[in-house]
């Protein structure tokens, strides 16, 4: 599901209330309608939209009553800043994902002494007793909170560094220059590629790159530009 | 701004397009109206909502034309799962925030050799030259991507562990039992506090707690319940 579709769906307060209710327990239409104080017809309309988006699914029980539940796990992140309006929506990453491939992040889930301090995640650990499972779940909940806090920290840092960079560049085109530099920090590239990445015409990009080369910030080698080493 | 207000605002495709445009550059009403192909009146309506929510601000230039820009950094996270419908919205955490207080997470920003490997963040580092600033910014961007990936991993893990726990509990009340156990993993508590935390009547909670005590999963001590050690 793309972020725009997700935001359209979440933009309605009653649909949010339905999702909140179904996350507590699967429900019949009449239960939802009673709980929300909304007509069954309106509830059915919302459920149809939620089903079409793949967020909700329905089953029929032995008494042939249809009940609804949340179909799958989806996550959405929205960032609004003077430099970015970003939306990301995604299904959860597989628990077999190799988090150790992260360069700047290490995770240490304490309930797993074998992998602690090694930056390796506890993805293979599946304790079977209730107490260990509860503690593992509690650790992952805490980790989730810490990740959320770290992301807010990173967002603040991004804005701060970006403002600083643009003020140091001190140019009418500071914003575009910063975009270009960031694209070059990712990888060396030619004018055309850079133009596509920053959304500016090749002519403008070339002029700015020449300025950066003159200032000794960027090097050019057979049409490919790269950031000089710090 | 609360999450509901944020979602109401983002639920409109044209408001999202306005935010995307303003994140590129500050604009006048007529520019936005031309870009979106929407009447100036409709644009003004959207801008008023965005201003009232504190997302957008306006200034008047020397020719007395009013132009609009994004006012502040906001972040929203939405999680939908069979066990949760959660929304969080927040302003970025201060860059002075002490990320080292995180128990399960350490961050290593490579552009700062002094703090590397110590789990200390680079919040005090403010390089002044363009190349170092660009590299610092690029590192934080990468960190942000890694945090996002790690969060998706944590969400998947949460669902997996939760399903596993409920199946091991194997009880009609598995969901409520799991909620109780998680509340106890956080801190020992009495029946009343636990009832409030899991949203169930004290009578029901007491019955389930007795069952958990009988099974040797929970201990009771003068009306306070705690999880036994794993």
Provide the residue ranges of all domains of chain B, joining segments of one domain with +.
3-70, 94-169, 171-227
Maximum separation of any 2 CA atoms in chain B, in Å = 78
* Amino acid B152: pLDDT: 83
* Amino acid A153: pLDDT: 84
Q: What is the pLDDT of residues A62-88, one digit of tens each?
A: 889 999 999 988 888 898 988 888 888
A159: closest CA among B108, B52, B67, B75? B75
For chain B, say whether A183 makes contact (Cβ under 8 Å).
no
* Amino acid A59: pLDDT: 93
Place B96 in a pLDDT band, splitting at 50, 70 and 90: low
- Give the Cα separation of A32 and A44 in Å (integer): 10
Query: Mean pLDDT over residues A19-30, rounded?
Result: 92
Mean per-residue pLDDT over chain A, rounded: 85
* Amino acid B178: pLDDT: 93
A189 min Cα distance to partner chain B (Å):
16
Any idea which of A104-113, A200-209, B11-20 has the lowest mean pLDDT? A104-113
Check CB contact under 8 Å for B228 and A175.
no
How many beta-carbon contacts under 8 Å exist across A and B? 339
Considering chain A, what percentage of its residues have pLDDT values greater than 90? Answer: 49
Place A120 in a pLDDT band, splitting at 50, 70 and 90: very low
Smallest Cβ distance to A103: which of B128, B132, B142? Answer: B142
CB atoms within 10 A of CB B196: 13
Considering chain B, what percentage of its residues have pLDDT values greater than 70? Answer: 87
User: Do A171-227 and A3-70 have the same topology in CATH?
Assistant: yes
A117 chain-B contacts, CB cut-off 8 A: none
- Give the Cα separation of A119 and A115 in Å (integer): 7
Check CB contact under 8 Å for B16 and A85.
yes
For chain A, say whether B161 makes contact (Cβ under 8 Å).
yes
Question: Contact at 8 Å (CB) between A46 and A12?
Answer: yes
DSSP designation for A151: H
B73 chain-A contacts, CB cut-off 8 A: 79-82, 155-156, 159
What six digits make up the tokens of B105? 């997470």
Interface test with A, best of B2, B15, B84, B92 (most A CBs within 10 A): B92
The stretches of A25-99 forming alpha helices (DSSP H) are 29-36, 40-52
B80 chain-A contacts, CB cut-off 8 A: 19, 23, 55, 70, 72-75
* Amino acid B99: pLDDT: 66
DSSP designation for B38: -
For chain A, say whether B146 makes contact (Cβ under 8 Å).
yes
Q: What is the pLDDT of residues B155-210, one digit of tens each?
A: 888 888 998 999 999 888 888 999 999 999 989 999 999 999 888 888 999 999 99
Smallest Cβ distance to B182: which of A137, A155, A164? Answer: A137
CA distances from B191 to A51, A129, B137, B209 (A): 38, 24, 49, 8
Buried b (16+ CB within 10 A) or exposed e, A54-73: ebbbeeeeeeeeebbebbeb
For chain B, say whether A42 makes contact (Cβ under 8 Å).
no
Query: Mean pLDDT over residues B145-156, rounded?
Result: 84
* Amino acid B113: pLDDT: 42
Check CB contact under 8 Å for A153 and B92.
yes
B112 has a pLDDT exceeding 70: no
Q: Highest-confidence range of A100-114, A138-152, B25-39, by mean pLDDT?
A: B25-39
Judged on CB neighbours under 10 Å (0-12, 13-18, 19+), A129 is exposed
Helix (H) or strand (E) holding B221: strand B218-221
Q: Between residues 89 and 108 of chain A, which touch chain B (CB distance below 8 Å)?
A: 90-95, 97, 99, 102-108
Question: Contact at 8 Å (CB) between A84 and B23?
Answer: yes
* Amino acid B20: pLDDT: 93
A121 has a pLDDT exceeding 50: no
* Amino acid A104: pLDDT: 72
Place B149 in a pLDDT band, splitting at 50, 70 and 90: confident
* Amino acid A110: pLDDT: 57
* Amino acid A230: pLDDT: 66
Query: Mean pLDDT over residues B17-22, rounded?
Result: 94
Long-range contacts of B201-204 (CB under 8 A, 24+ apart): B204/B176
CA angle A154/B91/B129 to nearest 5° reads 40
Q: What is the pLDDT of residues A140-179, one digit of tens each?
A: 888 888 888 888 888 888 888 998 999 999 888 888 999 9
B66 has a pLDDT exceeding 60: yes
What is the SS3 string spanning B94-118? Answer: CCCCCHHHCCCEEECCCCCCCCCCC
Question: Contact at 8 Å (CB) between A85 and B56?
Answer: no
B87 chain-A contacts, CB cut-off 8 A: 16
For chain B, say whether A182 makes contact (Cβ under 8 Å).
yes
Name the class of domain B3-70: mainly alpha
Any idea which of A97-101, A158-162, B28-32, B163-167 has the lowest mean pLDDT? A97-101
Q: Between residues 51 and 80 of chain A, which touch chain B (CB distance below 8 Å)?
A: 55, 69-70, 72-80
> In CATH, what number does B171-227 get?
1.10.10.10
What six digits make up the tokens of B171? 């009880």
Place A95 in a pLDDT band, splitting at 50, 70 and 90: low
Question: Contact at 8 Å (CB) between A108 and B105?
Answer: yes
Is the ipTM reported for this complex over the cut 0.85?
no
Check CB contact under 8 Å for A103 and B97.
no
Cα four-point dihedral sign A197, A199, A202, A205: negative
């Amino acid at each position: 599901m793309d972020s725009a579709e997700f935001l359209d769906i979440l933009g309605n307060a009653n649909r949010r209330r339905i999702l909140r209710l179904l996350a507590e327990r699967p429900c019949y239409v009449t239960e939802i309608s009673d709980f929300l104080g909304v007509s069954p017809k309106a509830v059915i309309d919302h459920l149809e939209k939620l089903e079409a988006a793949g967020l909700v699914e329905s089953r029929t029980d032995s008494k042939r009553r249809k009940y609804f539940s949340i179909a799958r796990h989806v996550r959405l992140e929205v960032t609004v800043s003077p430099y970015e309006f970003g939306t990301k929506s995604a299904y959860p990453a597989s628990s077999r994902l190799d988090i150790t491939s992260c360069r700047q992040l290490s995770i240490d889930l304490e309930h797993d002494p074998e992998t602690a301090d090694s930056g390796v995640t506890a993805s293979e650990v599946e304790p079977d007793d209730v107490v260990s499972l509860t503690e593992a779940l509690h650790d992952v909940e805490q980790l989730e909170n810490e990740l959320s806090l770290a992301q807010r920290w990173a967002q603040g840092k991004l804005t701060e560094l970006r403002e600083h960079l643009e003020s140091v560049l001190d140019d009418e085109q500071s914003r575009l220059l910063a975009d270009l530099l960031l694209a070059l920090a990712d990888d060396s590239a030619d004018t055309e590629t850079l133009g596509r990445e920053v959304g500016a015409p090749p002519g403008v990009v070339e002029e700015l790159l020449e300025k950066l080369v003159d200032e000794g910030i960027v090097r050019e080698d057979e049409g490919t530009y790269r950031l000089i080493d710090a």
